[in-house]
Amino acid sequence: MKYLFTGLLALSFLFGNAQENKDKVRPNYELAAKFSPAKLRTMIFSTDVKPNYINFSDKFWYEYSTSSGKNWYLVDPAARKKTTLFDNAEIAAQVTAIVRNPFDAQHLPLQNLRFVDKSDKIIRFEVQSTKDTVKSQEEIKKLTNKKDTLKKKLFHFEYDIVSKQLKEISDTTKEKSKPNWAIFNPDTTRVYFAKNYNIYWMDYQNYQKAIKDEKDSTIVEHQVTTDGVQYYAWGGDQYSTTTGDAKSLLEEQRKRKPVRLNWSPNGRNFVISRKDNRHLSALWVIHNVNNQRPALETYKYLMPGEVDSTENELFIFDTANHNAKKVNIGAFKNQTLSLWSKDQSKDNYKGKHYINYWLGNDQEFYLARSSRDLKKIDVVAVDLNGNVRVLVEERMNVYQDIQKPKLIAGGKLFIHWSQRDGWGHYYLYDINGQLIHQITKGEFHCNDLSAYQESTGTIFFQANGREKGVDPYYNFLYSVNKNGGAIKLLTPGEYDHQLEGNEHANYFIDNFSRVNTVPQSNLYSSTGQLIMKLEEADLSQLFAAGYKFPEPFKVKAGDGITDLYGVMYKPFDFDSTKTYPLIEYVYPGPQTEAVNKSFGRSMDRIDRLAQMGFVVISVGNRGGHPARSKWYHTYGYGNLRDYGLEDKKVAAEQLANRHSFIDINRIGITGHSGGGFMSTAAMLVYPDFFKVAVSGAGNHENNIYNRWWSERHHGVQEVVSEKGDTTFNYSITKNTELAKNLKGKLLIATGDVDNNVHPANSIRMIDALIKANKRFDFVLLPGQAHAFGNMTEYFFWKMADYFSEHLLNESKMHEVDMTEINRERPLTR
């Protein structure tokens, strides 16, 4: 009996183990590897239509790729006609005959396709061959290795889409691209640029010389300013400087660089702002790899709460003699100036170049000045004599946003955007600053004034949250008359609508999808009438590989009232009888939320992570996206560390209550940048709930992150003394203060040359963890800046290993080779 009992126990044990192994979720490296970014490029092709308008008309062309290859289309909206630009097979045969490299209809490598000016019938493009040819004299002059004189010949073609004739043309007929430093005046007789931190100009004849050879010693330049120096420059100031020898630094200073000028319509004046940053302290990162010796990169960086002893200066230049008038624009200490330019249109396209006109007329221009705490914003007009008049004052107890106004009615009126009633809406003003009326009103957020039709007085704008019962983040296009009245929805359908149009606003392209639908593109008239269906994305290869759409969901925030919207990503081999760990992918904003609303190709951080054997979610939080109310957006004002964490926790709890396949005892969290900061904070504020975190490039100490983001979203206190002096106090809680709370598994990663979120953020977090006697893990990515660059794939597999090891109790963490990367790379030696 004793032996029988023992045998039954053994059988029970074996059966139990077998059942446990059957129910156990194991990390699926193979499935995750199937959806790498490189493989997705062969499974996802075009997902939207990007129009190229022909000669500022309503006609446009676009290219669109599917698993059958790429095609080029010409669309005439007025005629409701869509045709191919050419027969791919015909073009391939003609190109092959000239280039002598074989091409076919599915593989047409046309480069730089464009219509010839003032024609909607002639196109030009280039095709790269394998034929060797000698480089031009200009190219040889620039060579460091003078023996490297050969290149692969680039053939230049012109094609008549009516006669269907293709001919090779000389490369001399190709328009020289405008160098980035060239800023044209309105009549295009002069080109302005920066050099040695000052403003210069040259005439068009000398500009032509510079296009051929920038080092031509016969080029005549005229210096406008003489007092520009590094960090107090008129233009061409570098964001950062890598130390080197004096000769190379001098050569860098002498290079022509762009200068930001805003021109009056008649070209007689331009305006420019300038600030003295010489007093600002520097930051440094060290480039340890890719150089013969480590190199120090130095850059100016103003941190929150630091003293800023100089103010933005504003100057109006007279182009007849280049005399400058300094404008007394000051109203707030450490204010920010926003110089506005006119939108690009046919009116500011002169001599094949766009002119950067100021927003205004020949006599005055308009700009915004904002207080350092962004609680006070003025829209002002400045005339040529430097006189300043306030048009609109915006005041609020939290930070504010501002958008460029739209001048209408010949400049007599303007449309102003404001959040003064708690929602982003449009208001009509006259040019004297007198409010006429509010144009839009209600519990929804207007986010973009897309176009205005002067002939009808119709405003076309994009907004969120107006359609009841629909995800408030979905974007829609509407129209309304400037005098108010009924608002018309132009893009019906429960999708996120991304719009493309031109200045005429007669037609628009609607690229629409959700995370769980195939992207489509339709052409509509300005009245919302469907003109034609343009495209539907080809996802056949993606679905053939086993792809399944994620699932949108809605939960309540920690207050039990506010709706939060999220997306759930499951493994494609999901089994509802098993239980899965849940991982939250987070980015706290407040300028955005990391919740996809439309179908996209960026699946490596969410979709692919789920394939390892996790349920992955992304969900909003109070204090996140600005596309909702001002209350929602500024919920975290004054508490930039903890404000979103409760919502992340309760979202996971609600989903676990709904779904038996979610194991509430195995919760992970990950994010990058602000998400790196948030994921670590979650481990420290709720250490018994969040068990594992992978935190990339986190700003763990926002007191050493940049002033503009930290002070804006957390808040800085303006203090005025009895004497009238103004100072600014900034205080913020940091992740490092809670290091002692860590209980779970934490992996911190940073690039060593991150000049956005400085590596000191991660290093200080590490220092605090060590001093608290905590075990944790750290990955340094050499030579990588904020986005991790070419080590992104390596980091993904480190993250996959880490979550698999600590949430699934199994991983390849202890293997040396990352076979998932190695198998994709051909061995060339």
The pTM is what? 0.93
Instruction: Tally the domains of the chain.
Output: 2
**pLDDT tens-digit map of 654-707:** 999 999 999 999 999 999 999 999 999 999 999 999 999 999 999 999 999 999
Residue 232's pLDDT band (cuts 50, 70, 90): very high
Q: What is the DSSP letter of 341?
A: B
d(CA 629, CA 450): 21
Instruction: For residue 792, tell me if it sits in a domain.
Output: yes
Q: Are 510 and 522 in contact (CB under 8 A)?
A: yes
Instruction: For residue 745, tell me if it sits in a domain.
Output: yes
pLDDT score at 352: 79
Give the Cβ contact number of residue 294 at 10 Å: 9
Distances (CA, A) of 168 to 86, 123, 463: 16, 12, 48
Which residue, among 78, 77, 94, has the nearest Cα to 86 in the 3D structure?
94
> 1-5, 364-368, 377-381, 442-446 — which is least confidently predicted?
1-5
Going through 236-347 in order, the beta strands assigned E by DSSP cover 240-242, 262-263, 269-274, 282-287, 295-300, 313-318, 323-327, 336-339
Instruction: For residue 326, tell me if it sits in a domain.
Output: no
**pLDDT tens-digit map of 737-787:** 999 999 999 999 999 999 999 999 999 999 999 999 999 999 999 999 999
pLDDT score at 212: 87
Instruction: For residue 810, tell me if it sits in a domain.
Output: yes
d(CA 8, CA 6): 5
Q: What CATH number corresponds to the domain at position 725? A: 3.40.50.1820
pLDDT score at 753: 96
Instruction: For residue 231, tell me if it sits in a domain.
Output: no
Domain range for 781: 548-822
Beta-carbon contacts of 396 under 8 Å, excluding residues fewer than 6 positions away, are 375, 419, 420
Strand partners, 272: 315
**In the listed set 173, 202, 228, which residue is the last one of a domain according to the structure?**
173
pLDDT score at 349: 85
Burial class (CB in 10 A: 0-12, 13-18, 19+), 534: buried
**pLDDT tens-digit map of 386-440:** 999 999 999 999 999 999 999 999 999 999 999 999 999 999 999 999 999 999 9
Instruction: For residue 726, tell me if it sits in a domain.
Output: yes
Instruction: For residue 306, tell me if it sits in a domain.
Output: no
**In the listed set 173, 193, 219, which residue is the last one of a domain according to the structure?**
173
Instruction: For residue 693, tell me if it sits in a domain.
Output: yes
Q: Which helix (H) or strand (E) holds 807?
A: helix 792-807
**In the listed set 173, 202, 218, which residue is the last one of a domain according to the structure?**
173
Q: Are 650 and 623 in contact (CB under 8 A)?
A: no
Q: In what order do the strands lie in the sheet with 425-430?
A: 406-408, 413-418, 425-430, 435-438
